[in-house]
Amino acid sequence: MLIKEQNAIQKKWSPNRTSIGLIYPNTYRVAMTSLGMQLLYFLFNSWENFACERVFKPLDSEVLPYSLESQKKLSDFDVLAISCQFEHDYLEAIALLHRGGINPDVRKRDEHAPLILIGGPSPTSNPFPVLFTPDVFFLGDIEPVANKIRLALEKETKKEKVEALSNIPGCMVFNYHYNESGEWIGKKVQSIRTKNLSDSFYPIKQIIPDNVKGTKNEPIFGKAYYLETDRGCSERCLFCFVGHCRFPRIGRSLERLMDIIEQASQVNDFEKVVLYGSAVAQSGILDKLIEFIVSKGYEVSCASIRADYLTEDLLLNLRKGKQRTLSLAPETGDENQRFAINKRMSDETIYTALKLAWDIGFRRLKLYMIYGFPSEKEEVKYN
């Protein structure tokens, strides 16, 4: 099936352009629901001397991986940038490299193989399961050092590229930080964090497929535009990566978010706005943002919201935005256990939020729960 997409870019390949294969180690449906994929694709293609094309996990396990834009093989690219959102993506990434004829062991690749760069939440939290796979890990947010990365990738040879990358904050290079046995020999590498989200690069244009409704390629949220409201979290729940590696929360201003929607409506055709963020309600502007989105004629989809941030106005605006399911994350049914993991939220707070949601008209509820805490009581596990 030929997928018709809004805003896809296909640059002409030439010896003067560095080619980047942007790999999302999952299917098209999952990949095109990722805001990170959109951001990287439009960032890399905004660089004049670069051509970036997307690579996904084929639906057919017998099909070799190739780029969507011009059907290039993995070995045709100068750089392969792999975005790993979850730990399972490591296995899929290695499998894709292997099927594409690229040795997944950096120690066995030569100067002629593409430079492999792995980034995303998984390597930022723990790169060690695939320590020997990439030439370079990137830890954290790319926006603050994007220009430095561009200059490094413009170097002539792969060796020069890797050496230049090794001097950029957030980049962890195997040959510069580890020996053949995986023992640490280099300087400490810290993940990079964006300080001002409102001023950071944002993909106003986004790729939105037009002819995939009802197929295996339809993105999870359908014909939607993705709006990142914030990054990180200030709650510090003990079980959560975000509150520790991405502390404190930073957010975009209401004015910037409204401006993004205004601009996006001019260059994209979409039906729904999906709000991305790990703490979307903490800013206190969510109800006003949703009210604005609804006034522009769009539906709204919002991720899990803490029960103690739910208000009547917020719930009413979500209903006006045609959100049908309310998502909460109590984590456990035992209040004492909840406080023990620093999810400081009482049962009464959750019950009050649920009653308010019911009274406003919500009839579908999704609860995120974690099973098997070490201190969890047996009756909680089975009841």
Which pLDDT belongs to residue 274? 97
- Within this chain, do residues 137 and 234 fall inside the same structural domain, yes or no? no
Give dist(CA 97, CA 110) in Å, integer: 15
- pLDDT (tens digit per residue) in 331-363: 998 999 999 999 999 999 999 999 999 999 999
Percent of the chain whose pLDDT exceeds 70: 96
CATH number, domain containing residue 360: 3.20.20.70
Which pLDDT belongs to residue 245? 82
Which pLDDT belongs to residue 375? 74
Which pLDDT belongs to residue 250? 93
Give dist(CA 17, CA 61) in Å, integer: 31
**Is residue 341 packed enough to be buried (19+ CB in 10 Å), middle (13-18) or exposed (0-12)?**
middle
Which pLDDT belongs to residue 144? 97
Percent of the chain whose pLDDT exceeds 90: 80
- Within this chain, do residues 166 and 239 fall inside the same structural domain, yes or no? no
Domain that includes residue 114, residue range = 5-177
To 5 degrees, how large is the angle CA 75–CA 10–CA 100? 20
- Within this chain, do residues 104 and 165 fall inside the same structural domain, yes or no? yes
Res. 284 pLDDT band, cuts 50 70 90? confident
Q: Please give the average per-residue pLDDT across 259-274, as a whole number.
A: 98
Res 309 pLDDT > 60: yes
The residue from 177, 192, 208 where one domain ends is: 177
The residue from 144, 177, 210 where one domain ends is: 177
Give dist(CA 77, CA 86) in Å, integer: 24
What are the structure tokens assigned to 16, written together?
Answer: 């003067």
Residue 161 domain-assigned (yes or no):
yes
Which pLDDT belongs to residue 383? 56
What are the backbone angles phi and psi of residue 291, rounded to the nearest 5°? Answer: -60, -40
- Within this chain, do residues 242 and 335 fall inside the same structural domain, yes or no? yes
What are the structure tokens assigned to 361, written together?
Answer: 């008209």
Residue 184 domain-assigned (yes or no):
no
- Within this chain, do residues 40 and 162 fall inside the same structural domain, yes or no? yes
Which pLDDT belongs to residue 201? 97
- Within this chain, do residues 155 and 303 fall inside the same structural domain, yes or no? no
Specify whether the CB–CB gap between 326 and 362 falls below 8 A: yes
Residue 214 domain-assigned (yes or no):
no
Which pLDDT belongs to residue 177? 67
Residue 193 domain-assigned (yes or no):
no
Residue 209 domain-assigned (yes or no):
no
Give counts: helices (H), strands (E), the chain. Answer: 14, 15
Specify whether the CB–CB gap between 309 and 263 falls below 8 A: no
Give dist(CA 156, CA 212) in Å, integer: 40
In order of 100, 352, 354, the CA distances from 366 in angstroms are 39, 16, 11
Task: Please give the model's pTM, rounded to 2 decimal places.
Answer: 0.93
Output the average pLDDT for the chain. Answer: 93
- pLDDT (tens digit per residue) in 126-172: 999 999 999 999 999 999 999 999 999 999 999 999 999 999 999 99
Which pLDDT belongs to residue 62? 84
Give dist(CA 317, CA 291) in Å, integer: 6
- Within this chain, do residues 235 and 150 fall inside the same structural domain, yes or no? no
Res 382 pLDDT > 60: no
Domain count, the chain: 2
Which pLDDT belongs to residue 372? 84
- Within this chain, do residues 152 and 255 fall inside the same structural domain, yes or no? no
Which pLDDT belongs to residue 315? 95
The residue from 177, 207, 238 where one domain ends is: 177
Of 259 and 86, the structure prediction assigns the larger pLDDT to 259
What are the backbone angles phi and psi of residue 271, rounded to the nearest 5°? Answer: -110, -20
DSSP single-letter state for residue 2:
P
- pLDDT (tens digit per residue) in 38-65: 999 999 999 999 999 999 999 888 889 9
Residue 293 domain-assigned (yes or no):
yes
- Within this chain, do residues 228 and 150 fall inside the same structural domain, yes or no? no
Of 181 and 260, the structure prediction assigns the larger pLDDT to 260
- Within this chain, do residues 264 and 366 fall inside the same structural domain, yes or no? yes
Among 183-192, 265-274, 308-317, the least confident range: 183-192
- pLDDT (tens digit per residue) in 200-256: 999 999 999 998 888 999 999 999 999 999 999 988 899 888 888 888 899 999 999
Residue 191 domain-assigned (yes or no):
no
Give dist(CA 383, CA 371) in Å, integer: 11
- How many beta carbons lie within 10 A of that of residue 267, not counting itself? 11
- Within this chain, do residues 263 and 359 fall inside the same structural domain, yes or no? yes
- Within this chain, do residues 366 and 230 fall inside the same structural domain, yes or no? yes
Residue 183 domain-assigned (yes or no):
no
CATH number, domain containing residue 150: 3.40.50
Res. 266 pLDDT band, cuts 50 70 90? very high
